[in-house]
Amino acid sequence: MTKKILPVLLFTLIFCLQVSAQVQPLPFSNYIQKRGGLLNVEHVINTRKDVTVAFLGGSITYNPGWRQMVYGYLKDSYPKVNFRFIAAGIPSLGSLPHVFRLQRDVLDSGKVDLLFLEAAVNDQVNGTDSVTQVKSLEGIVRHALKTNPYMDIVMMSFADQDKTNLYKKGLVPTSVANHELVAGHYNLPSINLAKAVADKLANNEFNWEKDFKDLHPAPFGQRLYFDAIKTLLADGLSVPAKNGDRTNKHNIAKIALLNPDSFTNGSYLDITNAHTDAGWTLYKSWTPTDHIGVRDGFVKVPVLESTKAGSTLTLSFKGTAIGMAITSGEDAGIVNYTIDNGPEKQIDLFTPWSTSLHLPWYVLFGSGLKNGKHQLKLTVSSDKNKGSNGNACRIVYFLLNK
């Protein structure tokens, strides 16, 4: 009898040890804040034939992966609905660029029912200060909801190793905290994928180097992102609309601003509005001549260029904030500027990535200005960054908060 029982006990012990060694995955629901949910897009999916979904973000939105999986999930789940998708991801861009390109790249395409928004990775990498992050994220939300108060917006914070390291120390990354701050203030759903990845790594569910590999995730990471987003969509879109009353109107007029100087009406201002001296050239279709790469949307487009120190331009504008979007290559220079003949300030246009890419780079000259007429004066400086080989200033757009 004893000889028969011992093998059974041994097998049972080994089985129990194997089961206990298996990792129990942390549910994505831990990292989703539903808040106001997806009542509006749920309603339009169940009552209309045409639904528009937009994706505004940086390279993690631009690159193939989770976004296409969301396309497929929505079309497969609702085969009678005609989905229109707006892919507005541009690599390297964070919340400051997004708030000024929102109108042209998203809203000009027509009424949007669901907007996915991400900027946490590039806000951190690009060094966008916390106040500007909030002013930009809040500006995106209010501008979008002004065009359609029944738009649902999902705010997402994607992962990178810096964020993982901060979470290991018990700290919340600033860019993630600001995404959650704005989402909470406007009662928007959010997904903290940065925290999800950090916790799942600590839970030994996967390995960053072997599985996730990079802040631009390998297919494993793209699938993980999609699974989290699908968790929100499956829950938020699971109940059919009833009598047309399952909606959540965002009345932004009754919601106080987090920052009174937020960029709530950002847009591009055409470069032809500037008055220039002879040191500037307006190219109708600019391409680099140094064989360095450039992002889509910032090549074969009009560019106002000066490579000569001392070149000046003036720009009259009406609004509360002014800036410019440039391409910053290996010859990017430094500019001096004044607003309304105020104190002269200086901005270095050279970035850590300029030697390998004509990077789309957005700079602010002034914000919180009195709402009215102003004048910007800009001069290409004779100073230059020690890493740069020139004094170039290449302006693709001026940035204006009306």
**Looking at residue 284, what is its pLDDT?**
97
Strand order in the sheet with 312-319: 275-276, 312-319, 372-380, 334-339, 345-348
| Domain span holding position 215 | 24-254
Residues of the chain with pLDDT > 90, as a percent, come to: 89
Q: What's the pLDDT band for 247 if we cut at 50, 70, 90?
A: confident
Q: Are 309 and 303 in contact (CB under 8 A)?
A: no
Domain assignment present for residue 12? The answer is: no
Task: Select from 211, 227, 254 the last residue of a domain.
Answer: 254
Distance CA 286, CA 392 (A): 14
Q: Residue 33 forms beta bridges with which residues? A: 190
Secondary structure, 3-state, the chain: CHHHHHHHHHHHHHHHHHHHHCCCCCCHHHHEECCCCCHHHHHHHHHCCEEEEEEEECHHHHCCCHHHHHHHHHHHHCCCCEEEEEEEECCCCCHHHHHHHHHHHCHHHCCCCEEEEECHHHHHHCCCCHHHHHHHHHHHHHHHHHHCCCCEEEEEECCCHHHHHHHHCCCCCHHHHHHHHHHHHCCCCEEEHHHHHHHHHHCCCCCHHHHHCCCCCCHHHHHHHHHHHHHHHHHHCCCCCCCCCCCCCCCHHHCCCCCCCCCCCEEEECHHHCEECCCCEEEEEECCCCCCEECCCCCCEEEEEECCCCCEEEEEEEECEEEEEEEECCCECEEEEEECCCCCEEEECCCCCCCCEEEEEEEEEECCCCCEEEEEEEEECCCCCCCCCCCEEEEEEEEEEC
Residues 154 and 196 in one domain: yes
Q: What's the pLDDT band for 238 if we cut at 50, 70, 90?
A: confident
Domain assignment present for residue 260? The answer is: no
pLDDT averaged over every residue in the chain: 93
Task: Select from 254, 278, 307 the last residue of a domain.
Answer: 254
Per-residue pLDDT of 264-308, as tens digits, reads 999 999 999 999 999 999 999 999 999 899 998 999 999 999 999
Least confident of 31-35, 199-203, 245-249: 245-249
**Looking at residue 239, what is its pLDDT?**
62
Per-residue pLDDT of 177-202, as tens digits, reads 999 999 999 999 999 999 999 999 99
> What mean pLDDT comes out for the span 151-162?
97
Residues 296 and 185 in one domain: no
> What mean pLDDT comes out for the span 361-373?
96
Domain assignment present for residue 352? The answer is: yes
Per-residue pLDDT of 307-362, as tens digits, reads 999 999 999 999 999 999 999 999 999 999 999 999 999 999 999 999 999 999 99
Distance CA 113, CA 74 (A): 13
Per-residue pLDDT of 111-140, as tens digits, reads 999 999 999 999 999 999 999 999 999 999
Per-residue pLDDT of 84-109, as tens digits, reads 999 999 999 999 999 999 999 999 99
Cα Rg of the chain (Å, integer): 25
pTM above the 0.75 mark?
yes
CATH for 376: 2.60.120.260
Domain assignment present for residue 132? The answer is: yes
CATH for 148: 3.40.50.1110
Choose between 245 and 150: higher pLDDT. Answer: 150
Least confident of 39-48, 50-59, 81-90: 39-48
Task: Select from 197, 230, 254 the last residue of a domain.
Answer: 254
Residues 77 and 178 in one domain: yes
Report how many domains make up the chain: 2
Residues 203 and 320 in one domain: no
Domain assignment present for residue 263? The answer is: no
Tell me how far the alpha carbon of residue 171 is from its chain's centroid. Answer: 22
pLDDT of 245 strictly over 70: no
pLDDT of 54 strictly over 90: yes
